[in-house]
Amino acid sequence: MSVVNPTVKRKRFFLEKNTRRKLIIASRQSRLALWQAGHVSTTISLLYPQYEIDILGMTTRGDQILDRALSEVGGKGLFVKELEMALADGRADLAVHSLKDVPFALPDGFALAAILEREDPRDAFISNSYASLEAMPDGAVIGTGSLRRQAAIAVRYPHLSVMPLRGNVDTRLAKLDRGEFDAIILAAAGLKRLGLEQRIRAFIETDLALPAPGQGALAVEIRHDRDDLRALFAPLNHRATAQAVTAERTVSALLGGSCQVPLAAHADIDGERLRLRATLAMPDGSSIIRAEAEGAAAEPEALGKIVAESLLAQGGGGMISLCAEKSGGDA
């Protein structure tokens, strides 16, 4: 048996301690956001065990303002602004976001360094009384904070009453359990990440209602000048997910990218081919238009442009103008 000289052991410990590096992740303080930040932290640690990683929990304006629609107070970007401030002033090295909360056009000085492999992008139906949307009777109340979901329900289930619902996952489930709603709609990805899949009574398939652009994907944001982090996080990027959500977010960007617009978009990738579908609707379900395109997965922006132009050619511009006069949000 070999014996390591104590002096060598002390020297090795000193070197390891002093070569250890630190990263700080900025995150919202909701249970789901902290899970997501922890997931990214674990992924980084597996790749780079020499890094010590801390999470800086923050409360954003989007978390604080729950009595008004997001479109009335600044849109979904309110969930990321405070985190970007932490990046800008050096309190954090990276921020972790739900991609559907991230505006397509980032503020100057910031960049997305990686988009992780997507979780289930579908919406989920949750109820303590009914097994599905189809089983709900006339006048039953369903809660959602999303104009997109509101419009999808109005188109197919006009007999249901849709009421606004804001707050994090736990807050929304608590409101359901108190009997304030007969059912609610949430993103399946968040429920699965929190181990709450048993609350899902039914998944809303994409053939019935498309999800929000980027739904189910996580994004890592950094300062644009941090080339060191851009290279460090490159292995976290999931190519197929990045291609799919780029196509979806391109549609959103070309149509205004606002939470005032009930826009849905979803891309499926099969090998090197990408199929992109999108819908644009009036919140009351009185009108809906659809577009679809298929092409090379390596050209997601081009496909996004084709689909956006198709929606506009069908009258999408007029619908967007009407929607802009109303309030709402997607969560």
DSSP lists the bridge partners of residue 26 as 56, 95
CA torsion, points 312, 315, 319, 321, in degrees to nearest 10? 70
> Catalytic site residue 63?
no
Q: Are 96 and 220 in contact (CB under 8 A)?
A: yes
> How far apart, in whole angstroms, are the C-alpha atoms of residue 68 and residue 177?
22
Catalytic one among 63, 93, 101, 182? Answer: 101
Tokens linked to 229: 């982090």
| Catalytic (active-site) positions | 101
